[in-house]
Structure formats: C-alpha cells, structure tokens
Amino acid sequence: MFSLHTYPVNVLLWSLYVFVITHWRCNMAAIAFDPLGYTHELEAAGVPRAQAEVHAKAMTVNFRHNFDALVTTDYMSVRFSEFETRFSEFETRFSEFETRVNANMDRRFAAVDKQFATMDKQFYELQSSMDKQFVAVAHRFDGLELRFEKIDSQFSKIYLLFGITLAAITIPILQNFLG
C-alpha cells in the first residue's frame, strides 16, 4: 500500500511546484487553485488517487486559509489613501498648533519687549535724575573750591606775617647772643 509518509517528499514538493507554476491563475484581485488538476498531477507522479484527493483537499483548505490573508493592491491603495488622509489631517493639526504656538510666542515676546521698553524708560529717567544730581554736586564742589582758594590765600598771608614776626623776634635775640 502506498503512503505519503513513505513516498519521497521531494516528489510531492516538485509536483506541487509544477502544478502551482502551470495552473495558478492570478490577477490582482483573485488567486485560483485547481484541486482536480493538482490531483491529476499527483496521480501522474505515482501517488494513488485516494491519497492524491485527500492531499488536494488539504491543500485547497490551506490555500483558502492563507490566501484570504493576502493583501491586494486594492486593499493597499485604500490603506495608503487612509494613511495619506490621516497624515494630511495631522499636518493640518500640526500647522494649526504651530500657528497657535507662534502667536502665543509673539504675544509673549511683545509683552517682554514692552517690559524692556518700560525698564529702558525707567533707566533713562534714573540716569537723567542722577545726571542732575551730579551737576548739582559739581556746582557745590565748585563753590567749595573757591572757598578753599580763599582759605589758601588767607593762610599764605598768615604764614607771611608769622614769618615776619618770627624774624623780628629771633634777629634781636641772635644779635645779643653773638654780639
């Protein structure tokens, strides 16, 4: 009795390969598997008819199960369209977000610029006030300088009189001592 377990595996695989290559009709939407043709191929390779039919039925179930999960170009086109739509929506949302962020940042930078302008004004006012005070202090120092010049001239007169007085006193004492 013939058994698939005792039959060489390479003959079965080669029969399947030849059958698939020669009998498979494939367009993008459908893939056809002919179990009757596959049974005849197995019989031609020496597999008994009952076993060939069982093998063909098993392959038919396997093909249906696996080919239902295949992705077609129509399916991929739909998925890519959905992806493009979602990506376009994302780009729109991101653009809106970017616009909001830029507007928010512009508003905040305007507020910061306004604060800097206020601070610049305050520094200018402070500088003007300090300049006025420095001018007032400079005038006071000018007045003090005049007073010091008067005091210096008075000290010069006092030193001159003190020198004359000292000379008038010491010269007669020296003349008596020396002479």
In 32-72, which ranges are continuous DSSP H helix?
Answer: 35-44, 49-68
Residue 41 has pLDDT above 60, yes or no: yes
Q: How confident is the model at residue 77 (pLDDT cuts 50, 70, 90)?
A: confident
Q: How far apart are CA 146 and CA 159, in angstroms?
A: 20
Q: What confidence tens digit (pLDDT) does each residue in 105-127 have?
A: 999 999 999 999 999 999 999 99
Q: What is the mean pLDDT of residues 153-178?
A: 89
Amino acid 148: pLDDT:
87
Q: How far apart are CA 138 and CA 131, in angstroms?
A: 10
Q: How far apart are CA 110 and CA 101, in angstroms?
A: 14
Q: How far apart are CA 165 and CA 159, in angstroms?
A: 10
Amino acid 8: pLDDT:
54
Which residue's structure tokens are 């003349």? Answer: 175
Q: What percent of the chain has pLDDT over 90?
A: 31
Q: Mean pLDDT for the chain?
A: 81
Angle at alpha carbon of residue 29, lines to 27 and 32, rounded to 5°: 60
- Strand partners of residue 26: 31
Higher pLDDT, 81 or 30: 81
